[in-house]
Amino acid sequence: MKKTPLLNSTISEMIAKMGHNDTIAIGDCGLPIPDCTKRIDLALVKGIPTFEDTLKAVLLEQQVEEVIVAKETKEVSPHVFEIIKNEVGDVKITFISHEELKEELKNCKGVIRTGEQTSYANVILKSGVVF
């Protein structure tokens, strides 16, 4: 049995297969996920699981060197931006428009869909290296 805390086998497998600069995204339940991108749908009901809980769980396993956030997040949902900032610590944060973020989803290895119903509760995590 796995020793690390993340129990979702699909997310864990995706992270294990990632290389340097590969990306995955975590999004609210309304984020449009391109058909070409793997969808990991965790959404159960409104608010479950939360964006914050999902981000915390993913960060237990993934080494992240940069996060990409829609600039609208900081403006419209500043509490979501604070969650991201607090969870990633001193990791570089890059801001792009929400439209650009949605386009970038095509390049992600996968998008984890949460039950979050807060506007702009979305982030792209760029994989770093552990050495």
The CATH number covering residue 37 comes to 3.40.1650.10
Q: Is 58 a domain residue?
A: yes
Q: Is residue 3 part of a domain?
A: no
* DSSP state letters, 35-100: TTSEEEE---BTTBS-HHHHHHHHHTT--EEEEEEEHHHHHH-HHHHHHHHHHHTTSEEEEE-HHH
The model's pTM:
0.96
pLDDT of 37: 98
**79 assigned to a ligand binding site:** no
Would residue 79 count as lying in a domain? yes
Catalytic residue among 20, 79, 92, 106: 20
- Annotated binding residue 98: yes
CA distances to 15, 72, 112, 119, 126 from 80, in Å: 23, 11, 16, 9, 18
d(CA 131, CA 103): 30
Residue 2 lies in a domain: no
Residues 68-79, mean pLDDT to the nearest whole number: 97
pLDDT of residue 2: 76
Q: What is the reported pLDDT for 1?
A: 72
Residue 49's pLDDT is what?
98
Q: What is the mean pLDDT of the chain?
A: 97
Residue 99 falls within a domain, yes or no?
A: yes
- The reply to whether 13 falls in a domain is yes
Query: In whole angstroms, how far apart are CA 33 and each of 40, 87, 109?
Result: 10, 24, 12
- pLDDT tens column, 105-131: 999 999 999 999 999 999 999 999 999
- With respect to residue 1, please indicate whether it lies within any of the assigned structural domains: no
pLDDT for the residue 4: 84
Give the pLDDT score at 68: 98
**pLDDT tens-digit series, residues 81-97:** 999 999 999 999 999 99
Distance CA 108, CA 82 (A): 23
107 is in an annotated binding site: no
Structural domain boundaries, residue 24: 9-127
Q: Is 27 helix (H, G, I), strand (E, B) or coil?
A: strand
Residue 109 in domain: yes
Calculate mean pLDDT across residues 20-40.
Answer: 98
20 is catalytic: yes
Mean pLDDT of 27-52: 97
94: its two tokens: 């890059």
Number of domains in the chain: 1
